[in-house]
Amino acid sequence: MLLPRLLHPIRVELRKKDLEYTPLMDDNLNEPIGQVRREQATIVLKAQIKIDDADAAVATEGPIEEQDRGYLLFLTRDLHAKQITIERGDRIVKIGEGKNARDVDLYIVRLRWRGHYPKAGGPTLLKAYFEDRHPSRLTDEGAA
C-alpha cells in the first residue's frame, strides 16, 4: 500500500503542554496562572514545514511587530511510532538542525487531519497550524 511522504522533512523540537502539573491559581497572588507548564524534555520529530509568505508585519504605537504563521505536516505513522499526540497549545522550540537550526517560540493553534486512504483506515497526515502568540518587536538592527 502506498502512503504519502513528506517533502523535505525537517527536524522539529516541541514541548507538550503539561496540564496535570500546571497549577490553576497562584497561591500568593490569588489569581489565575496564564502559562501552561512545559518543563519536560523536548520531543524530536520530522515534519514538512510551510511558513506563510504573506507579510504579517503590523504597525503599532512602538516598533513594527512581526508574526510567524504556517503549519507543520506530520506523518501519523511517525506519531504513532513515538506514541505522541499533538495538541493545541503545544510549543515549538526549534526548527532545523546544525548551523541552520533556529530557536523559535511558536504554538500549535489548530489541527487538521489529512490524507484519508481506505487502506490506511483513516488519516495518514496531521497538519498542525502554528502562530507566534507573542510577536517579537523588531529593533533597528532587525528591521529590513
Q: pTM higher than 0.95, yes or no?
A: no
Instruction: Encode burial over 80-110: b for 16+ CB neighbours within 10 A, e otherwise.
Output: eeeeeebeeebbbeebeeeeeeeebebbbbe
pLDDT at residue 137 in the model: 44
Under DSSP, the state recorded for 127 is E
Instruction: Express each pLDDT in 31-42 by its tens digit.
Output: 555 555 556 788
Instruction: Express each pLDDT in 88-132 by its tens digit.
Output: 888 899 999 999 999 988 989 999 999 998 888 899 999 999 998
pLDDT at residue 11 in the model: 96
pLDDT at residue 50 in the model: 93
Grid cell listed for 111: 489541527
Distance CA 68, CA 125 (A): 22
